[in-house]
């Protein structure tokens, strides 16, 4: 994130202690498997370097990103631990991958050859992982090609086969049998390597949903993204998480920060990491029948107050959020958006409340008094998933880090 001065009164607060808590909880939940913190897409909009460091402090063994550029940014910010690339880099990027000590995922012969050449030129032995497609059909090697790919890695003395993994397509639906089918395919692929005398290294398949709802998918490592940020991949997993927390309590797990306690305590669940706030920019009175904002789609049924808040669709408030009855919190009360969301501002219907003033706090996501607007609420209104809501908050909304490491 830029360190330039910010003058517009709108910001995101990122609670790094919540990241540590969630990482610690997930690490306990999946043990003895290790936790990989997924911080791609700038940690789902939270800030990748800050989240990576906090997750490591909470118990994550490594982090994962999608792009070489994201791994380079982590190294530039001082992140020293293992960084797994979840997508195969292009051959032209392998010199940078080796230079930055990133762990590439590979699933094509030309990428294996390019990695070996870059490793040889650098005089280093590079850890790599293979990905096998078990039904997601996005990226990864066909199962029938996996053995030859593994042999190609072993034939290059500059490379070390450090892992084998796959990605689950429907783990957020705990009743869909396709997850078990994928796991069976993955285990068959692993057995075929072992039968050929090849040790595949770390085995992993579980995303956040797999880690919570499919204990058999945990293997040696789980890759948690959305759960690290305090949200479930789908509401259907709430019962599974509650059961998992109950198991931790029964096993005598201690609450976070109470390592020295002599008796078990209630295990707190996931904590939302991000809040989105702003300040009222302007308040004006409009007469009944007035239609504020573009398209004049919203009509005031009676005279009342309208507040202007300086965030818009470029910042991550989709126009669809207004059409779906989206709300914000002001003065501890829910207030409906008044009309079309614009690029830089939203209008808020304050009714007959004359107490709201410019500078008052506005909460788009988070808690204010007894009220709370959550990321899942946004997702439900928009017909999407929490991941997209979080990633949609734009870079011109500055991030403020609470309890920054160091």
Side-chain-facing half-sphere of 35: CA atoms under 13 Å: 27
Tell me which residue of 103, 197, 107 sits closest to 143, measured CA to CA: 107
Produce one character per residue of 276-291: b if its CB has 16 or more CB atoms within 10 Å, e if not.
bbbbbbebeebeeebe
Tokens 């490592």 identify what position? Answer: 221
Tell me which residue of 8, 4, 14 sits closest to 280, measured CA to CA: 8
Q: Let me know if 298 is a catalytic residue.
A: no
Q: Let me know if 401 is a catalytic residue.
A: no
DSSP result, 136-166: --SSSB-GGGHHHHHHHHHH-TTEEEEEEE-
Residue 402 and residue 405: Cα distance in Å, rounded? 9
- Residues in CB range of 38: below 8 A, 6 or more apart: 63, 64, 65, 86, 207, 223, 224, 225, 228
Tokens of 232: 């479930």
Produce one character per residue of 106-142: b if its CB has 16 or more CB atoms within 10 Å, e if not.
bbeeebbebbbbbbbeeeeebbbbbbbbbbeeeebbe
Tell me which residue of 174, 265, 228, 299 sits closest to 63, measured CA to CA: 228
Please name every residue paired with 206 in a beta bridge, in sequence order, or none if there are none.
222
Say which of 40, 107, 313, 321 is annotated catalytic: 40
Residue 100 and residue 30: Cα distance in Å, rounded? 29
Say which of 44, 107, 120, 294 is annotated catalytic: 294
Instruction: Burial-class residue 301 by CB neighbours within 10 Å (0-12, 13-18, 19+).
Output: exposed
3-state secondary structure of 362: strand
Question: Contact at 8 Å (CB) between 44 and 225?
Answer: yes
Catalytic residue numbers, as ranges = 40, 294
């Amino acid at each position: 994130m830029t360190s330039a001065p910010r003058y517009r009164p709108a910001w995101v607060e990122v609670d790094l202690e919540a990241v540590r808590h969630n990482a610690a909880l997930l690490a306990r939940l999946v043990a003895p498997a290790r936790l990989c913190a997924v911080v791609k897409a700038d940690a789902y909009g939270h800030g990748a370097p800050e989240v990576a460091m906090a997750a490591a402090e909470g118990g994550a063994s490594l982090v994962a990103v999608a792009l070489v550029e994201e791994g380079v940014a982590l190294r530039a910010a001082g992140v020293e631990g293992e960084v797994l690339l979840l997508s195969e880099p292009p051959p032209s990027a392998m010199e940078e991958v080796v230079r930055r000590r990133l762990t590439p995922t590979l699933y094509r012969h030309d990428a294996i050859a390019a990695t070996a050449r870059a490793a040889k030129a650098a005089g280093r032995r590079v850890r790599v992982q293979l990905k096998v497609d078990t039904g997601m059909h996005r990226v990864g090697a066909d199962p029938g090609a996996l053995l030859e790919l593994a042999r190609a890695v072993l034939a290059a003395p500059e490379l070390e086969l450090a892992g084998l993994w796959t990605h689950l397509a429907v783990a957020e639906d705990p009743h869909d049998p396709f997850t078990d089918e994928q796991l069976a395919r993955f285990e068959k692929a692993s057995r075929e390597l072992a039968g050929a005398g090849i040790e595949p290294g770390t085995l992993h398949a579980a995303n956040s949903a797999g880690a919570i709802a499919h204990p058999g998918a945990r293997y040696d490592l789980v890759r948690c993204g959305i759960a690290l940020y305090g949200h479930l991949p789908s509401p259907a997993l709430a019962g599974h998480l509650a059961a998992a927390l109950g198991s931790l309590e029964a096993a005598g797990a201690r609450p976070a920060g109470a390592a020295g306690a002599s008796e078990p305590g209630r295990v707190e669940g996931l904590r939302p990491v991000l809040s989105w706030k702003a300040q009222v920019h302007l308040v004006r009175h409009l007469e009944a029948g007035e239609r504020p904002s573009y398209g004049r789609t919203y009509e005031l049924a009676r005279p009342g107050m309208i507040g202007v808040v300086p965030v818009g669709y470029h910042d991550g408030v989709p126009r669809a959020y207004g059409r779906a009855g989206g709300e914000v919190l002001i003065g501890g009360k829910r207030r409906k958006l008044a009309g079309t969301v614009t690029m830089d501002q939203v209008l808020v219907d304050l009714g007959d409340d004359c107490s709201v003033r410019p500078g008052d706090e506005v909460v788009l996501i988070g808690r204010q008094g007894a009220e709370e607007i959550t990321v899942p609420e946004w997702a439900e209104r928009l017909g999407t998933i929490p991941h997209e809501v979080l990633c949609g908050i734009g870079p011109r909304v500055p991030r403020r880090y609470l309890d920054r490491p160091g």
